[in-house]
Homo-oligomer: A and B are copies of this chain.
Amino acid sequence: MGGDRAPDEIVAGALLASVGRVEPILVGPPELDCGGLEHVIAHDVVGMHEKPVDAVRAKPGSSLVVACRLVAEGKADVVVSAGNTGAVLAASLFTMRRVRGIYRPAIAAPIPAMRGPTVLVDAGANADARPEHLLQFAYMGAVFAEEILAIERPVVRLLSIGEEAEKGNELTRQTHELLAASDLNFVGNVESRRLLDGAADVVVCDGFTGNVALKTIEGTSNTLLNALRSEAERSWRAKLGGLLLRPALRNLRHQLDPDTYGGAYLLGLRGLAVIAHGNSSREAVANAIRYAALGVEHRVVERVAEQMGSRVVASAGPKNPDRMMR
């Protein structure tokens, strides 16, 4: 029931993704038409504009909380939601709990860089974070890059406002020291102007900065492509040019489209959650589900726990590898 286009596009996306070993479970009200997919009933809904923590506490019977609980109880392997990010975070945290040793879960968001994706972590879960949190974000991001992006020994960089170690704020300077002393493949700071260059496989930052960077990329791309479209309306010459360039522009839009990856992973919990864009189309929802399945197959939750030197003792992991849920 989450997102701007629920439930229609969510159900349609789940049906699209329901191939092979992926078995979506839909969570929603009794009257929901699930097109033959498994249906777990939830009577309540968390709205897009409710205060996350309050809403999740007040609505244990909401589709979101029920869905997260299915993962926590081992009845599903991963939860996918296009709902309120804060609420997904809160519901996941309350039901699945953190991996032992992890201070804070973080959002790992793939950025469509030119030479293949870069993972940005934290993309918005922790607006205020400390250096030791960022160090863990780096480890989680590296697991993501290895398992989901299939990159061996991923290059890790710290997002800052200058390449030199001493450039940045208190947080980045202290984090730089921790990263440099770690066994990660840390190669230094990266400036945000290089985020789309593929200068790193993993880019680490606090959730405020990450969210600002991610939304700036999104806003700039949209503005630019829209401006290009209106420029191409201003004369016959430009109109014809735009027409001829249309396939190239479509490629470009596709290349930059965050929906290609379907969503962001919430890492550091004893179960997996994938957060899709709020305005996800059925294709984006299907991508998010496939992408969530990949995380289960690659045992991302267990790999994060191993990095922390701990083992996942709760129900997380592919106990039932043929099942996915929404």
Contact = CB atoms under 8 A, between A and B. Distances in A.
A61 B62 CA distance: 69
B219 A248 contact: no
A247 B249 CA distance: 17
B242 A255 contact: no
B127 A161 contact: yes
A215 interface: yes
Interface string A234-259: 11011011111111110110011000
Interface residues of A, number: 61
Contact of A248 (B169, B224, B231): B231
B196 A219 contact: yes
Interface stretch (A136-144, A147-155, A186-194): A186-194
Nearest to A49: B164
Contacts of A191: 215, 219
Contacts of A209: 208-209, 212
Interface string A183-227: 000000001111111000000001111011101111111111101
Contacts of A249: 228, 231
A168 interface: yes
